[in-house]
Amino acid sequence: QTLKTLKYTPTNSDLKLTPESKVTSYNNFYEFGTGKSDPAEYAHALTIDPWKIKVNGLVNTPFELGYEDLFNQFPLEERIYRLRCVEAWSMVVPWIGFPLSALLKNADIQSSAKYVAFETLHRPDEMRGQSSRFIGGNIPYPYTEGLRLNEAMHPLTILAVGLYGKSLPKQNGAPVRLIVPWKYGFKSIKSIVNIRLTAQEPATTWNLSAPQEYGFYANVNPNVDHPRWSQASERIITSGGLLDQKRIKTQMFNGYADEVAGLYQGMDLRKYY
């Protein structure tokens, strides 16, 4: 696949980046298979241009964006975030995108809207995992995710259209995906075709699949373990072999507590995990 070279505002960060080859070959994207290397192997089948993403629901001006609009309508900026997977590993990725709030503002949200629901493309003839439950891990498709409106409007929440200076490889969720850096990676839904403003909390795929393990909020929280493993620390996926591994303490809200803790004031994060 040929990737577009993007024009964007670069940024600085002290974090050591995960090598591009690992970012693009170690993916959870069950639409192409449950193995970590399946997406890199099978995502070439996906057509991303033309693309259509709809913004609708409780908005006064619903609209659609096409493939080129994703790269032209909003100024692109680089964001270097740690992506903390619920499986207790993390990567540091230089994403390129724009704040989700910029897109939502264009839709003129109605006051009754409280949540934002996202949906991934459903195209079983190009996404092999959607055509067989044995390949696709037996989770319901299309993949759906959701955020509370104030989470969606938060300046850290972006729609990513690229990484490492180029447009997103298909296995990373081309042409457009969500990135919410203080939440576990599964919230960051890939290959989005629909963004809908709703009054009710939307159903989300992993919550439907295993509600006792994956909550709606899914905030990174070292104090609330997954039922089958500890979330207190994480292994960084970086360059280096077996003998060169690093395990670090997981930070509350993945290190963004100063920016986002206020969103959850008064909430019992054990209950709303």
Q: At 9, phi and psi to the nearest 5?
A: -85, 115
Contacts with other proteins by CB under 8 A: the residue count is 34
CA separation for the pair 34, 255 (Å, rounded): 29
Q: Is 235 in the site for other proteins (CB under 8 A)?
A: yes
Near other proteins in 147-186, by CB under 8 A: none
User: By CB under 8 A, is residue 1 in contact with other proteins?
Assistant: no
Query: Per 3-state DSSP, what percentage of the chain is helix, strand, and coil (rounded to 5)?
Result: 20, 25, 55
Q: Which long-range contacts (CB under 8 A, 24 or more apart) does 10-15 make?
A: 10/78, 11/77, 11/78, 11/79, 11/80, 13/80, 13/92, 15/80, 15/82, 15/92
The angle subtended at Cα 87 by Cα 184 and Cα 100, nearest 5°, is: 20
Q: Under rule CB under 8 A, which residues in 5-64 are in contact with other proteins?
A: 21-22, 25-26, 30, 34, 36-37
Determine, following the binding rule CB under 8 A, whether residue 89 of this chain makes contact with other proteins: yes
239 binds other proteins (CB under 8 A): yes
Of the listed pieces 44-52, 66-74, 234-242, 261-269, which binds other proteins according to CB under 8 A? Answer: 234-242
Residue 23 in tokens? 């970012």
Asked if 223 touches other proteins (CB under 8 A), the answer is: no
Query: Closest separation between CB of residue 205 and other proteins, Å?
Result: 10
Local structure of residue 132 (DSSP, 8 states): -
CB of 48 to other proteins, least distance (A): 23
Residues that bind other proteins (CB under 8 A): 21-22, 25-26, 30, 34, 36-37, 87, 89, 134-135, 137-139, 209-210, 225, 228-230, 232-233, 235, 237, 239-247
